[in-house]
Structure 1
């Protein structure tokens, strides 16, 4: 018995060193140490379960719903989120959560692990929080291991609430900067993401008409395995929402100088926003695109719908046809000189209206490029992505087979005739004459071809019910957002100033030179016509 106790005591320092080395590897140890000091009781050198639950909890001040579209279980689920986090990841003894168990719980959720395991942690948390909120799900786990097999299914409304919870966890740092006790929790419209899950996971989902439906009316069962694969393939950034939330909450707690209660996220109202947003890049669409990206551009896309200058103009919005006017020349005058990643959104409508009975289908597609536009008559670019954004979200990244990513060609200046003129407009994917996406010179017509013509981007339909034929559509609006940060915008502004200066210099006329008739060009031309062979004395 004594030997056994001695071995257990000797194992504790080794276990602590192992856990701390893992925390050092991801750069979290200093933050964890500060948070533990703030949360723990000096008498027991452990954190009480109540304190830890409060650290990860949301508090509500008479929560109200500004719309009936939000399920009643959603605020209850948020209220039980902190308790579910502690019960799932942190193990406590009679005295509370010790230092070793505190670090172990953090590493179990936020340590280095496979993406599938991180996603399983998210599903486990959602299942436990839903059960505590009185809304049990049809998900089952074979064992308590993080990588155990998941069985069962989710309904579309369950997927919607799951995505909303993830959105709140990923965006809560911005919400915390609002005034405590008066915060309005704006939930973005992410219907396009839920419909994407239904189309990919439901039996026969590819043939469903999802252009005009409500999430609550969909009764399709989405198998857990298919839903798991859909997240990994379409929005792999979703599993990082949980780790980001836990890390930010502990970091917030570690930096507090006053009572712990001031770290709570206090919510007064919950509202659904952007249902009729005027811009194509809504917060919900920006969040979906950021989850699909595997680069540092995610943060820039998330900030784009929020960054405005003193005049209320979006800082990263380079061009919008509704503001700057349609046409390639107007487009070019606003994006020329911007050298960096861009996000282009195009809203269009296709079909024929019969007395306004709704046969016209509207949709939004997106293109993300790694560089600015150039006036060239060949394809160029290094990489990029195509997006079907609305009504169903889908991502088509580069395939690695070809590099025909971007084509942007204006009319050549100084030439009247070209024996083999190249198409004038902008295009993405495919080949010249068979572009996968082509926007004409006037920004009036959009042509989308089948993915068989394109080897640069992954295959798949960009619009609902695309088929094998070409889709001809009328362009409603075009937006271009810069994603390269403030430095790229400053360089573009400097470029525009130089171009404007050169233009003014070319147009400038020296009136002193042509101030008299004897020195005017008209007098010189008339003299040459009257007697071109006249010998004139050279001025010396």
Structure 2
């Protein structure tokens, strides 16, 4: 234990247990180094203000604007550090001693259930909103970690909570990096919570509404159920943020200066982006997955904008429409693929107001194959805009993905299989079917699909099949560098085979008179001609 000396008494059983818990997570060396840097030599304890600065998200010289602007959000960030310290660390007159430091870390970063971790996140949110003089109708029944919370959220409070989680996630991926903090549009997640938790929605239009001005009440119990069922990784941002800030203090020489340097820049609105997969949508997908996909999305889409195009495999407006163009870019990629479709449905004769635009997504845990049957081991469907929903595997069937090109080498098929890409359902009754020209997508009711969970893929879907016009298709690779290298090797091998097939052996055409081709031509020209065998 890095904080004790030989003159101190024997370690208590409680302290030993706390150190064992921290050691099981692999964080004990980091805690020892962080404590030695933060602690005062006189008191052998961490001054309260030092730890508050470590966890604080300062905004000196910053401004805050975004599409879903809430004026109180910068104030919430100002109080984040002090709220985290007060919630998890107990201080005496000299500061926070080693035992309380380890115990406080274990409270939020040790292995605990998802419900307890979510309770901690809500506690921090309640505390930080009170410090910012916001009125939030939430209250815990006791101080126990697993006690019940009563009250309700308003949509703007959900937006504040999600924005705070976004900033913590962004900060974890931008240690020692400078740049602007762009809080993306998270209205699709807020609308997901509202539509899932509120029975009487007040008649608002999900296609056109300002989530920050909605006045519907979201019961906190239903909100917690929504988080666990839809975005189960959301509470992890709290654990990751605390660990990342302590890790930064260990890496940098000056812990207080480094804690501010990780937050330099300006909190601003999101930059204009023509991708279907915006940062807000990418983050929403990432917090539904407890796998390497979560880490890959965070690395490429949340930490910075520079890595986003590295993961883009195909975009119809750039690489050309159609299944053949699509296949030439995704063939050989053996890692997880995220395929997105932006489409619009409605009647052109009714005016633009009748046309509804929405975005769907499908995540496969393996590359695509040219098959005339369904295949796959797992996957997810996503409704990304205007309302976010995730549809996990149901476990009843395994018709995860269907990707079939025109067959080669067959002149006639009595019962040809459909050419296109599909997800869920059965052949001829696919839940999502993209035609080979990438001009139309057909969406069917979840009743035809036993592979993915039930639910509407876009608002007001209805029971009848819906044909929509495709405006854009994207494919993003989430398999990391290994999958890219495998695809690169595959393409090199295919290019080599193609080049070899193009080469002509001139020796076979050295003597036309002796060639089989001339004999066949002669027979076709005059099949009745008398031919004498050459001896």
Aligned partner of residue 237 in structure 1, secondary structure = coil
Deviation at 1:307, TM superposition (A): 9.4
Which residue of 360, 378, 396 maps to 1:383? 378
State the SS of the aligned residue for 1:319: strand
Give, in whole Å, the separation in 2 of the partners of 1:365 and 1:18: 48
Deviation at 1:113, TM superposition (A): 1.1
Q: Does 1:435 align with 2:430?
A: yes
Residue 392 (structure 1) shift: 0.3
Q: 2:195 aligns with which of 199, 207, 223?
A: 199
Residues 423, 432 of structure 2: 8 Å contact kept? yes
Match status 1:123 vs 2:122: yes
Alignment partner of 1:424 is 2:419:
yes
Map 1:327-338 onto structure 2 (within 5 A). Answer: 327-338=322-333
- Paired residues of 2:68 and 2:185 also in contact (CA < 8 A): no
Deviates more, 1:40-49 or 1:215-224: 215-224
2:5 is matched with none
The residue number in structure 2 matching 1:235 is 231
**Partner of residue 215, structure 1:** 211
Instruction: State the secondary structure of the residue aligned to 1:19.
Output: helix
- Partners of 1:285 and 1:302 lie apart in 2 by 12
The CA distance in 2 between the partners of 1:352 and 1:301, in whole Å, is 36
Q: Aligned runs of 1:86-235 on 2, under 5 Å?
A: 86-179=85-178, 183-205=179-201, 208-235=204-231
Shift of 1:308: 9.9
1:270 aligns with 2:267: yes
2:291 aligns with 295
Check whether the contact 1:61–1:266 (CA below 8 A) recurs between aligned residues: no
Q: CA RMSD in A?
A: 2.4
Q: Secondary structure at the match of 1:363?
A: strand
- Structure 1 residue 52 corresponds to structure 2 residue 51: yes
Show CA shifts across 1:151-195 (max 9, x none).
11111111111101001111103333333xxx4211111110011
Alpha-carbon shift at residue 358 of structure 1 (Å): 1.5
Contact (CA 8 Å) 1:45, 1:98: kept in 2 or not?
Answer: yes
Match of 2:69 in 1: 70
Say which SS state the counterpart of residue 238 (structure 1) adopts: coil
Q: CA contact under 8 A between 2:171 and 2:263: conserved in structure 1?
A: no
Offset from partner CA, 1:233-270 (integer Å, 9 cap, x none)? 11010000000000000111122223532322444422
Using the TM superposition, give the Cα deviation of residue 355 of structure 1 relative to its aligned residue in structure 2, in angstroms: 6.0
Show the counterpart of 1:245.
241
- For residue 40 of structure 1, what is the aligned residue in structure 2? 39
Q: Is the 8 A contact 1:377 1:408 kept in 2?
A: yes
Residues 495-506 of structure 1 correspond to what in structure 2 (within 5 A)?
495-506=490-501
Gapped regions of structure 1 (runs ≥ 5): 1-8
Q: Label 1:394 to 1:308 Cα distance change in 2 as closer, same or farther (>3 A).
A: closer
Selected match of 1:452 from 443, 447, 452: 447
Residues 1:286 and 2:285 aligned together: no
TM-score, scaled relative to structure 2: 0.93
- CA distance in 2 between partners of 1:436 and 1:279 (Å): 24
Q: Deviations over 1:426-451 (max 9, x none)?
A: 11111111111111111111111111
- Secondary structure class of the residue paired with 2:353: coil
Return 509-518 or 347-356, whichever deviates more: 509-518
Structure 1 pair 205/120, CA: closer, same or farther in 2 (3 Å)?
Answer: same
Cα separation, 2, equivalents of 1:25 and 1:206: 49
SS of corresponding position for 2:338: strand
DSSP 3-state at the match of 1:292: coil
Structure 1 position 108, deviation (Å): 0.9
Aligned to 1:320: 315
Q: Secondary structure at the match of 1:388?
A: strand
Q: Distance in 2 between matches of 1:294 and 1:66?
A: 31
Structure 2 Cα separation of the partners of residues 115 and 259 of structure 1: 31
Whether 1:406 aligns to 2:401 is yes
Equivalenced residue count is 525
Q: Deviations over 1:451-492 (max 9, x none)?
A: 111111111111110111111111111111111111211111
Query: Could you say which residue in structure 1 is the equivalent of 2:369?
Result: 374
The match for 2:252 among 256, 262, 284 is: 256
Query: How many Å separate the matches in 2 of 1:259 and 1:200?
Result: 43
Structure 1 residue 494: Cα displacement = 1.5
Structure 2 distance, partners of 1:494, 1:534, is 54
CA 44–73 in structure 1, closer or farther in 2 if over 3 Å, else same? same
The TM-score with structure 1 as length reference comes to 0.92
Write the distance in 2 (CA, Å) between the matches of 1:184 and 1:313.
Answer: 16
Give the Cα separation in 2 of the matches to 1:126 and 1:374.
46
Cα distance per residue 1:97-124 (max 9 Å; x no partner): 0101001111111111111110010000
Distance 1:449 1:126, change over 3 A: same
Secondary structure in 2 aligned to 1:58? Answer: coil
Contact 1:436 1:453 (8 Å CA) reproduced: yes
Q: Compared with structure 1, are the counterparts of its residues 313 and 513 closer, same or farther at alpha carbon in structure 2 (3 Å cutoff)? A: farther
CA contact (8 A) 1:337 1:495 kept: yes
**CA-CA distance at 1:60 after TM superposition:** 1.9
Partner-residue secondary structure (3-state), 2:381 = strand
Q: Secondary structure at the match of 2:430?
A: strand
CA contact (8 A) 1:514 1:521 kept: no
SS of the equivalent of 2:229 reads: helix
Secondary structure at 2:205's aligned position in 1? coil
